[in-house]
Structure 1
Amino acid sequence: MRVVVPVLPPFRAGHSEAASSAGAAAGARAVIGRRLAYWGLQSLTDDALLVVTELLSNAVRHGKPPWSISMLLMSQEGGRRYVRLEVADAGAGTDINLVRARWRHPSGSLLDGGRGLFIVDTLASSWGNDHSSHGHTVWAELEVKPDSPGGGPPPSD
């Protein structure tokens, strides 16, 4: 089963890029919080809001407009359920493997940036990026624990 919620349709920065992205992030967080509550997955709300904020901040800072956000509730055979957050932009993207390698290298530092993705790496069960002819999408998956509230059968939408 795959339920897709377009959290934030593609948008371009207005006169003030910072104000536009801050407003977009606030709106996205509100939609995500409401949808997770509807699905009975409130236990994922704090992590989901932090992850989507970090991904959108990176897209606005390093990518190109338009930006968009999607949230998917995924249910696979075998019972695995997770929420996937996707932030897309029209930029070329970054080499995620290089970011991860920098964390592992003894001289690597989070002082020059990368803390946001490190937070995503800590909270998400998996994350990565996909490239397309229109740009790229950075995604993160938050696992729905079977014994958590909302961890039962998926609601019909």
Structure 2
Amino acid sequence: MFVETTLAKWGATPVIDDALLVVSELVTNSVKATGVTTRDPNWAELGELKLISVRLLGLERSIMIEVWDVESREPVAQRADFNAESGRGLFLVEAIASRWGSRPARPGKVVWAELLIQHRRDE
């Protein structure tokens, strides 16, 4: 809701669907790297939850999506097997975003993606 509402208010509706997919992939990677991923976590696991932050930056012709987590390891796109149910997230981000990358942060890292906003010709 945060992404969709913010982009709608900014008038960046042409990129909402792509932004939702990119945020979903980047947050999923952060959760896998730093979060509890078991279906029924016990209290000890819940006590070890780590924060993840999502930030949107509205630029003149694009939006930047940033996902921060406390894991310092940089993301690496993996070659997913044809039948694999996961492992294609960063390839999707690469295909959708005009550019993407990561940078160290204290603590952890920020993974970012830029989406160009295509305006209609009548604007």
Residues in 2 aligned to 1:148 and 1:118: alpha-carbon distance in whole angstroms: 27
Residue 55 of structure 2 is matched in structure 1 by: 70
Pick one of 34, 39, 42 that aligns with 2:5. Answer: 34
Flag the structure with higher strand content.
Answer: 1
Pick one of 38, 53, 56 that aligns with 2:27. Answer: 56
Pick one of 72, 80, 83 that aligns with 1:110. Answer: 80
Please state whether the residue corresponding to 1:130 is helix, strand or coil: strand
Residues in 2 aligned to 1:144 and 1:40: alpha-carbon distance in whole angstroms: 10
User: What's the offset of the Cα at 1:37?
Assistant: 1.1
* Amino acid aligned to 1:51: V
Task: Report the identity percentage.
Answer: 35
Residue 65 of structure 2 is matched in structure 1 by: 85
Unpaired segments ≥5 residues, structure 2 = 36-49
Q: TM-score, normalised by structure 2?
A: 0.76
Residue 148 of structure 1 is matched in structure 2 by: 120
Contact 1:63–1:93 at 8 Å: present in 2 too?
Answer: no
Structural RMSD (CA): 1.9
Q: TM-score, normalised by structure 1?
A: 0.61
Write out aligned runs for 1:93-132 (5 A).
93-96=73-76, 99=77, 109-111=79-81, 113-132=86-105
Unpaired segments ≥5 residues, structure 1 = 1-29, 76-80, 103-108, 153-157
